[in-house]
Structure 1
Amino acid sequence: MKRLVFTALICFFTAGVFAQVSDTVKTTTDTTVVKVKKKKFKLGFGNDAAQISINSEENENDTTYYHASKAPGFSFGLTFSRFDLGLATLIDNGSFTLSPNNDFLSYRQWKTSNVGFDVIQFGYRFNSAFKIYISGGFDWTHIRLRDNITILRNQPVLTYQEDDIDYSKNRFSSSYLRIPLSFDFRSHDDARGNRFHFIAGPDIGILLNGRVKQISDENGKQKFNDDYHYTKLRYGVFTRIGYGAAGLFAKYYFNDVFENSPAQKGLKNFSFGITIGW
């Protein structure tokens, strides 16, 4: 996972370089700038003479800029955007405290994380202030377990065993293909070329894999893959708000984290953190 995040960051900063170039081009393609220079003339006599302005090419001090927005249109392509890095929280039937049935999932909050990004998108721009697009990407949730347990594979319900091993890392993870539908409300560019974004919409996730990763002196590094009864198709909502290239995100999923495991009924996932790139 560390290598994946490192690679993602390299891709983001590389994309940032190209974004600088594309921003320069955008100035000339997205916006038509028309210069109208005005020259003032007096009508009447004395200090109270009225003033009017007419178009002129001579006065450099009175220049008015009129910005014409680019026409609506479709867009499609590869991207590296909406890089999310934050904390994940389990909500047990409306409570942040785990019930006795789920106490074995007790986790370290500051080491339980959510990471994700989009790699492709298709959208339609209605005007400079509103755009809608559907995108595809990847999303990981890493639960850092407190207890020395092992979540068992190929069990009829979510099952664990207690171990006589002191794990320095005991991580229980899920990975999803994420497909969010985004409604992007944007301000006009300010003097620095930045804008505010408010984005919200539904999010669908398709399970790719579940994994247990453990590190101990006795067994070294171990990885076990299985679906671990993670919900195969999850659905929820998200929101993003920010300025320039960065902002904040929050995600909440309506269905349970696990399926076909009655003891975990009502256990849901909520994530929040920072997001980079729009």
Structure 2
Amino acid sequence: MKSYVYHMIVWVALGLSVTNTAQAQTQDTLIAERDSSKKVNMNLSLGKSDDDSEKSNKKKIKYPRVFGGLTFSRIDWGFSRPMDNGSFTFSEENQFLSHSRASNFGFDVAQFGVRLDDNIKVYTAAGFEWNYMRLTSNVILNQNQAPLTPTFVDPNDVNYTRNVLTSTYLRIPVAFEWRSARSRGGDRVRIVAGPMFGVLLKGSQRLRSSELGKQSFRDTYNLQSFQYGAHLRVGFGSFGVFTKYYMNDMFEQSPNQEGFRNFAFGLTLGF
């Protein structure tokens, strides 16, 4: 009888232990799934993706693997700092390009690449990039002229309260990305670097004055038709910072603007 009672106690204890363990594992799974559902993937893509979600890592992934397709990622928003032969102070010939603020905005819409292993991938992309320079001079840039020449307007005749030189480029970055192992929250540190290229799509000057209202003129304004440079991105999860430096001149066929180059930096969203 005592032996029977003893065995009953042992079996009940084992049953309770297994039940508690199963409940704990179920609870942990639910918590993990809930935490994973809270993560927002900032990359929208269509095609064969380089999915970095927790769900994709439940099965073994074979490397190398190719990815590519449409995307909406690497959204940059920051500042531009044009430099005149390495100086932020412009020469006398370039004073008409002085500005109160310059900004840089862009994003990628297509990508193609290869992930070599869990940490390294190589890819190229295509997207768009805009640069805006809010000029402080009361000046109109002459159209269809080389070199770039300004016409200064008497403020007593027309006083421009807004004077923006804009450029729109098709951007083509080539990138080498390294990412760390996952943190406890599932995110990674990312470092991305490589060359980038741009093809001019259009240039414009947007003006506003009380005398003439809003005006917009479209021209190349001797903006570089093909630009090249380098980019660097550092981030954690989907957020990071970027910097870009364009190694050729901002303007072409314009001797006074030789050595006038652009440097940009700011925040980036999506890797």
The bucket for the TM-score relative to the shorter chain is: 0.7 to 0.9
AA aligned to 1:236 is G
Amino acid at match of 1:127: D
Paired with 2:63 and 2:182, the residues of 1 have a C-alpha distance of 16
Choose between structure 1 and 2: higher helix proportion.
Answer: 2
2:57 alignment counterpart: 30
Question: Contact conserved, 2:42 with 2:269, CA < 8 A, in 1?
Answer: no
Structure-2 change in CA distance of 1:18 and 1:199 (3 Å):
closer
SS of alignment partner, residue 26 of structure 1: coil
Matches of residues 80-229 of structure 1 in structure 2 within 5 Å? 80-108=72-100, 111-164=101-154, 165-229=158-222
Q: Structure 1 pair 247/265, CA: closer, same or farther in 2 (3 Å)?
A: same
Q: Which amino acid aligns with 2:207?
A: Q
SS of aligned partner of 1:127: coil
- The Cα offsets for residues 119-153 of structure 1, whole Å up to 9 and x where unpaired, read as 00001000110011000000011000011111110
Please report the RMSD computed on the Cα atoms of aligned residues, expressed in angstroms.
2.1
Contact 1:85 / 1:275 at 8 angstroms: preserved in 2?
Answer: yes
Q: 2:234 aligns with which of 219, 237, 241?
A: 241
Task: Give the unaligned 5+ runs of structure 2.
Answer: 1-39
| Range with greater deviation from structure 2 (69-78 or 197-206) | 69-78
Amino acid at match of 2:247: F
| Alpha-carbon contact 1:203-1:236 (below 8 Å) kept | yes
User: Following the alignment from structure 1 to structure 2, what is the Cα–Cα distance between the partners of residues 216 and 25?
Assistant: 50
Shift of 1:69: 5.2
Tell me the matched-pair count.
226
Please state how far the C-alpha of 1:26 moved relative to its aligned partner: 3.5
* Structure number with higher relative contact order (C-alpha < 8 Å, ≥ 6 residues apart): 2
Matched residue SS, 1:237: strand
Whichever of the two has the greater Rg, that structure is 2
CA distance in 2, matches of 1:238, 1:217: 41
Structure 1 gap ranges (5+): 1-13, 33-67
Q: Secondary structure at the match of 1:147?
A: coil
Q: Percent of pairs identical after alignment? A: 43
Give the partner amino acid of 1:114.
N
Q: CA deviation at 1:157?
A: 1.1
